Amino acid sequence: GQSLEQPSEVTAVEGAIVQINCTYQTSGFYGLSWYQQHDGGAPTFLSYNGLDGLEETGRFSSFLSRSDSYGYLLLQELQMKDSASYFCAVRDRGRRDDKIIFGKGTRLHILP
């Protein structure tokens, strides 16, 4: 089947670094994306990995290892406004279907 696993909650301190992991199981992997969603808001795109390695966008970085079916989102210099839910998502283009699968989200709590 198809599934994504990510931790339900993570807590970190303002100014610190936090890593949110995502493991996936798909039949036809076609890229891993990360989205941020604040309470009451819509998801917003953060990062995309189509190939192995690290992608950096400001304070956010994302990593992918296709051989390990694993990726992570790294948030540096945490700010209180980073308190939100973070979702990993995979495009699965199998032989018979094409769908997008989201993880259940990781709620990031930031302590002052």
Partner 1 sequence: DSGVTQTPKHLITATGQRVTLRCSPRSGDLSVYWYQQSLDQGLQFLIQYYNGEERAKGNILERFSAQQFPDLHSELNLSSLELGDSALYFCASSVDRGGQETQYFGPGTRLLVL
Sign of the torsion formed by the C-alpha atoms of 54, 66, 45 and 11: negative
Q: Does 102 bind partner 1 (CB under 8 A)?
A: yes
Candidates 19, 50, 76, 83: give the one binding partner 1 (CB under 8 A).
50
Q: Does 7 bind partner 1 (CB under 8 A)?
A: no
Closest CB to partner 1 among residues 59, 99: 99
Stretch touching partner 1 by CB under 8 A, among 19-27, 64-72, 76-84, 98-106: 98-106
Q: Does 71 bind partner 1 (CB under 8 A)?
A: no
- 20 neighbors 84 (Cβ within 8 angstroms): no
Q: Does 56 bind partner 1 (CB under 8 A)?
A: no
Q: Does 105 bind partner 1 (CB under 8 A)?
A: yes
Closest CB to partner 1 among residues 100, 111: 100
